[in-house]
Amino acid sequence: MNWTRWLPLRALSGWRPRDLNGDLAAGLTLAAIAIPEQMATARLGGFAPEMGLFAFVAGSAAFALFGANRHLSSGADSTITPLFAGGLALIAVAGSAHYLALAEMLALMVGLLVGLSGIFRLGWIADLLSVPVTTGFLAGIAVHIIVSQLPGLLGLPPESGETLRRVGEIAANLHLINPWSLALGLGVFAIVFTAERISARIPGALIGMVLATLAVAIFGLKARGVEVLGALRNGLPQAGLPTVSLSDTQALLPLALLIAIVVMVQTAATSRSFAGDDVNRDFVGVGAGSILSGLFGAFAVNASPPRTAIVAQSGGRSQFSGLIAAAIVLALGAFGGGLLADVPEAALAGVLMFVAQYILRWKVFANVYRQAPVEFLLILVTMTAIVVLPIETGVAIGIGLSLLHGLWSATRTQAIELEQVPGTSVWWPPSTPSAGEQLPGVLVAAFQAPLSFVNAESFKRGVCKLIDARGDSVKLVVLEASNIAEIDYTAAQALIETIAHCRKAGAVFAIARLESLRAQAALARFGIADLVGPHRIFHSVDGAIKALSPDKKLAGQQDKAP
């Protein structure tokens, strides 16, 4: 392994003084967007608002050191916060010292898993969740955010427990709604929504929060029952390892694995969307952010698609923009707690309500429903599981459904007999209206998927069935293998048995167009290349027919095909 590629500051390499203007503008814009969002996300997870600010600082600083993408923004994230908050609430009381210690340890575990995944180049894990399952997951998370923020938006007492029970209690307390809180929350939501429609660079959340805070002070809304944050604690967090028992650490491991997968999926998607050329390096950067965040008493962080887009659109040239934003946010968290004393909780609820509707992928819902009804069921099942069941159980079900759907798709592949397009040397699956031709004594079979344990039996059964259907007339069987990218042990045994069946039927077996280097290596490793014989492995179907066809006149005709 080339360890030099992991040296720090790659995302800052090539920085030039003339890039400062773009990075400064992007950093100021990012800070304006991040401050209210990070505070709201911290509240969503049951933490003091300033811990969201420190999580952003940790995520930004660590990614600037170890990440590769020049625009990616890492910090507190509303996608994973409900997930780990729900999981931690099953072990400790939200907001307690035990809860905070568990969150710190969870951040260390998630950061270690994500970082090691990058070091050992496990970026393929990010592809384990299909788009429908990811859409259902985000929809379920959006429902959790909405339900958790409704009490703050409506001025009702905070609720806890299962989502459906919370909904029932909120409905029962609707007569207690505080109209001032509702007006503030909806006003902030409207400002953020409108600003985002005009330009993502407008810090609508900050504008809304400032206006809501001024309204509280000018109109004396605290006396009218509007809840505010109160003065935040000034000072920097102290570094140290969390004090957690071994049994608690073991209990956190399944949750850490789930969150790590979600972080990798979102990080990969964000990095690839913004010219990322090294997803594994970005895993290291985001993982390091969670570790640093946990060491300073905060919680796990994640890549943020909307904040990353803001950096790119604001002219950011490097991770220096993230460091500028981190410095501003750190100064506020360390010295400006008094400035945030009159921020109404309804304002933060309004910000999170916007986030919730933002992550609901309505267009994907509509497209999947119209184009792939079966996969639309994956969206509904995943969303329902996350809403109705404990959230970490719902995520596990979503991941399982995604894997099962992938396996199901692979098992549906069937062996087919190709036909020669008249007047050409092209062999193609049977189609209408231009039917192809079959050559006497020749069977050209194809399997349009990698060969693995999930479809090995289907492959063997399908090819043997094609051979048996032709009876004694078939003298040459050519496996057109252009789509076979991989062959595992189980599939290799099935291929060996298929070759034996072919020979028992009195036919010669050949392989054509095995283009995958991995599949070629598998043929040699499992002894199949020797079994078939190097002289029966060809670059083209026509080459196999020309060399091995029992009908020499037919072989001669292949030479004339264009």
What's the mean pLDDT in 470-481? 91
- pLDDT tens profile 175-206: 999 999 999 999 999 999 999 899 877 888 89
Confidence label for 464 from pLDDT (cuts 50, 70 and 90) = very high
The answer to whether 72 touches 345, Cβ cutoff 8 Å, is no
The answer to whether 304 touches 75, Cβ cutoff 8 Å, is yes
**Listed residue (17, 79, 18, 9) closest to 322, CA to CA:** 9
pLDDT of residue 551: 63
What's the mean pLDDT in 210-228? 93
What Rg, from alpha-carbon coordinates, does the chain have?
A: 30
How does the average pLDDT of the chain come out, rounded? 88
Q: How much is the pTM? A: 0.79
CA 526, 530, 531, 533 torsion: positive or negative? positive
% of the chain at pLDDT higher than 90:
57
pLDDT of residue 555: 46
**Listed residue (157, 173, 207) closest to 187, CA to CA:** 207
- pLDDT tens profile 29-64: 899 889 999 999 998 898 999 999 999 999 999 999
% of the chain at pLDDT higher than 70:
94
- pLDDT tens profile 124-182: 877 777 888 889 988 999 999 999 899 999 999 887 777 888 888 889 989 999 999 99
What's the mean pLDDT in 321-331? 94
pLDDT of residue 314: 81
Contacts of 474 (CB under 8 A, 6+ apart): 441, 442, 443, 467, 505, 507
pLDDT of residue 561: 43
- The alpha carbon of residue 493 and the mean position of all alpha carbons in its chain are separated, in whole angstroms, by 35
- The alpha carbon of residue 277 and the mean position of all alpha carbons in its chain are separated, in whole angstroms, by 17
Q: Is the model's pLDDT at 535 over the cut of 80?
A: yes
Angle between helices 320-335 and 49-66 (to 10 degrees): 150
pLDDT of residue 238: 85
- pLDDT tens profile 397-423: 888 888 888 788 777 888 999 998 887
Query: What is the β-pairing status of strands 442-446 and 427-428?
Result: unpaired
d(CA 88, CA 440): 68
d(CA 136, CA 130): 10
pLDDT of residue 486: 92
**Cα distance from N-terminal residue to C-terminal residue, the chain:** 48
Q: Is the model's pLDDT at 349 over the cut of 80?
A: yes
